[in-house]
Structure 1
Amino acid sequence: MPAADPLVTLPAPLRAGQPFFWPNPHRLPAAQALAACPYGRADVEAAVARWQRFGPLLARCFPGSVGPGGRIDSPLLRQGDDHGRALWVKADHALPITACIKARGGVYEVLCHAEQLALAAGLLTEGGDTAVLADAPARALFAQHRVLVGSTGNLGYSVGVMARALGLGVDVHMSRDAKAWKKDRLRAVGATVVEHAGDYAQAVAAARAIARDDPQAYFIDDEASLLLFFGYAAAAWDLAPQLTAQGLVPTPERPLRVYLPCGVGGAPGGVAFGLKCLFGDAVQCVFVEPVASPCFLLRLASGDDTLSVYDIGLNNQTVADGLAVPRASARVAGLVAPLVDAVVTVADGDLLRMLRYQWNEHGLKLEPSAAAGFVAHEMMAGPCAATVAAWRPEPVMPLVWTTGGKGLPRDVFLALLAGGPSLGRLPVERRKPGEAGAMKSG
């Protein structure tokens, strides 16, 4: 018999562009999935060690911005309701240097590239003090090289600000979905912005093609880079001691449920991989995508790397510009497909409503993309609760991973607060007086 047409067998709400909860039928126990994977915990631990080695250089490049020893990390915040139930927030919208999760990948890969250039030129020895990469000889070397990347905004900025801090040239190819303010801040740090009339995938393809023909150019491939992937995966090692400090011990009987906004899949895929390596089945990873751009869910549901959201009648137009991606990373999907527990798709109106709520109630300054996890949480605790209970009935510790927002210009943020439909409110957890995250930040 001929194979079933994957377009015919897709969930109806996916094709209709409706918010819904999708448990991944291809999920495997973490130990089984990781045993079949060519990469594992040792690869993440190597990235953690490399991050630590870059600490002195980051401290020198960004004095006063990074943490002790040049550490890039974000706080773990607690929100709660009147019954004492907690919702935890890994606040990467406030991550040092870039105020977005993409620093974990983009900054890391630029550092790795700079390290390799310096090693090859004899300016650095294996295991040597990376702070020398900010010295004049290294900067003279880096001035002969440039980095290229395709982006909707936040990855481009993370790559751009780190590359320029070291003296590398940088060209950021940006899609039509990229916001003007994100282009402006790149130009402000000395990056070259190349604008494309097409979408994210076309911007990435253009940057890749140009870099292929230039021996002095290095392409950071958001669709396939393992350096990006493991830079993100190291974040699990940042979260673990924060959970311990709060007395949180995830178990398979009461797992940590982590909501991860998803675009092409690199950041959520890497974080999910790291979490599964560290916690196994004591963590559930839930990806969250806009209803117009559910590219990762499409890949998981169809098993087809070639399909884009356009192929199922969706337009990839969303207020969550950081998640406006038509086709998932085939490489990341191949690595994490059996590790993703579920996917939730969310509507733009709910993203804007939640953005306003989080600012008014908790003082969190978020981009629409970063509000996605909160919307998914309330859907799974409210309208989708019966389906979720049938899927995984055990109690969970919910955690929303935010992705960007603190760097939003004031006028852009005010426009987001004022814009969008005023929709009926789904149940949301309320803040108690005095809880972390209650103060507004600029």
Structure 2
Amino acid sequence: MASTLSDLRAAQPTVWINPDLSSFQIAQADNDLTKADIDEAEALLIRAAPWLAENFPDTEEGIIESPLMLYGNVWVKLDSHLPISGSIKARGGIYAVLKLAEDLGGTLGDTEWYSKYTITVASTGNLGLSIGIMSAAIGFNVEVHMSRDAREWKKQLLREKGCTVIEHDGDFSAAVEFAREASQHPDTYFIDDENSRDLFLGYAVAARRLKEQLSRNGVEVNAEHPLHVYLPCGVGGGPGGVLFGLKTEFGDNVHGYFVEPTHAPSMLLGMATQMFNEISVADIGLDGRTIADGLAVGRTSAFVGKRMRRLITACVTAHDKTFLQDMRRFHAAHGIFIEPSAAAGFAGHRAFAHLPGTHLVWATGGSTVPEDERADLLAL
């Protein structure tokens, strides 16, 4: 523990092996969610598919899914190219909005009926895009609370979609508090990236889709051929939901590795200290600043961290320059652009590439980044 905290304080790349990893059956004692909950989430997405297909023709007949490709000796799940909002947040964010719309009793397509409600969210960018785009399309009013340091193009895109962007000094946690306070207004609903059951389950649906894709590509997952999955991690909802879903499909034959920036290792810090959201990277002298803006989070989610306590195999941190190098390499090899945060998984893979089995990097965002921004990032 002491050496891990020393490395984190020094912003040095760190590999932390989870001493509390257990069987999925034992881990479920910490979790009030089950496979049946994921079934319900998938069923709602299927019910909404006709409306999604009509309003978002870039979906696969209303199904929000991304390609799987082989990159050398590692598979890459291209959530960077998910339809509608171009990031992994399309899974959880869009499901959460559709779930709220259904719970409120309206009918998709009746924009006037939904216009009496407001959805508010705090976001470093991509969650705000998924919730903002979907909420506005349904007819909700939308407020997205963001740090002033968040990418300007993401704020502008949200405004173009009809969302109100409210900027705050401070980091992501400060924006969360303002969004939470705003939700006290009548007919206002806060989608909480740190504590949302619906976001978590929306992400979890990805697992059964991936299982089908692996099967179509002849990839077996079993005790002799385990699956190692590398997930970029910010507050933890996206990777946590995906890993929970994968565990329900593959049990102990899947291993999850969360990857974070050296300046914002909120999940690793919370897990290693067992303090979860009660400790911030600022408490150990880190500034939380990173080129991987989607991972610029100072404090992990208690909801996710405690559910992941016995599920995560390891956490890895890497320098921004490593994310940028992997982003450029992937672009050079395939002409596919992913964000620096989306390239984080490659650093995790290098740490564990020697392990037998199938290795998969989850690329989490990038297709909505404007061309001039892409050029600037590729030139760094």
In structure 1, the partner of 2:26 is: 32
2:369 is aligned with 1:398? no
CA contact (8 A) 1:366 1:406 kept: yes
- Matched residue, 2:125: 153
Give secondary structure in 2 for the equivalent of 1:342.
Answer: strand
State the Cα distance separating 1:348 from its structure 2 match: 0.3
Cα distance 1:215–1:9, how it changes in 2: closer, same or farther (>3 A)?
A: farther
Q: What is the letter of the counterpart of residue 91 of structure 1?
A: L
**Residue in structure 1 matched with residue 324 of structure 2 by the alignment:** 352
Identical-residue share of aligned pairs (%): 47
RMSD of the alignment, in Å?
1.3
Q: Deviations over 1:376-412 (max 9, x none)?
A: 212433xxx6xxxxxxxx5121000011001110000
What amino acid does structure 1 have at the position aligned with 2:320? D
Q: Secondary structure at the match of 1:100?
A: coil
Query: Where does residue 108 of structure 2 map in the other structure?
Result: 133
Residue equivalent to 1:97 = 84
Aligned equivalents of 1:415 and 1:379: distance in 2?
A: 28
Deviation at 1:195, TM superposition (A): 0.5
Contact 2:4 2:16 in 1 (8 A): no
Q: CA deviation at 1:341?
A: 0.5
User: How far apart, in 2, do the equivalents of 1:364 and 1:57 lie?
Assistant: 29
CA contact (8 A) 1:321 1:369 kept: yes
Given that 1:290 and 1:318 are in contact with CA atoms closer than 8 Å, whether structure 2 keeps it comes out as yes
Alignment partner of 1:54: what SS?
helix
Number of the residue aligned with 1:289: 260
The within-5 A match list for 1:19-418 is 19-62=13-56, 64-68=57-61, 70-80=62-72, 86-117=73-104, 119=105, 123=106, 132-134=107-109, 138-212=110-184, 214-304=185-275, 305-381=277-353, 394-418=355-379
Whether the aligned pair in 1 keeps the contact of 2:266 and 2:297 (CA below 8 Å) is yes
Contact 2:30 2:307 in 1 (8 A): no
Cα distance in 1 between the residues matched to 2:311 and 2:60: 31
Q: Distance in 2 between matches of 1:194 and 1:319?
A: 22
Task: Name the larger-Rg structure.
Answer: 1
Q: Given that residues 205 and 242 in structure 2 are in contact (C-alpha distance below 8 angstroms), is that contact kept between their aligned partners in structure 1?
A: yes
TM-score (norm 2): 0.97
Contact 2:91 2:202 in 1 (8 A): yes
d(CA) in 2 for partners of 1:177, 1:225: 24
**Other-structure match for 1:424:** none
**Pairs aligned (count):** 379
Contact 1:266–1:332 (CA under 8 A) maintained in structure 2? yes
Distance 1:232 1:269 in 2: 8
Asked if the contact 1:176–1:200 (Cα under 8 Å) also holds between the matched residues in 2, the reply is no
- Specify the SS of the correspondent of 2:108: helix
- For residues 179-236 of structure 1, give each alpha carbon's deviation from its aligned partner in whole angstroms, at most 9, with x where no partner exists: 0001010011010000011110000110001112x11111000000000000001110
Q: How far 1:175 sits from its partner (Å)? A: 1.1
What is the alpha-carbon distance in structure 1 between the residues aligned to residue 114 and residue 260 of structure 2? 37
Letter in 2 for 1:87: V
**Amino acid across the alignment from 1:358:** F
Which one-letter code corresponds to 1:74 in the other structure? S
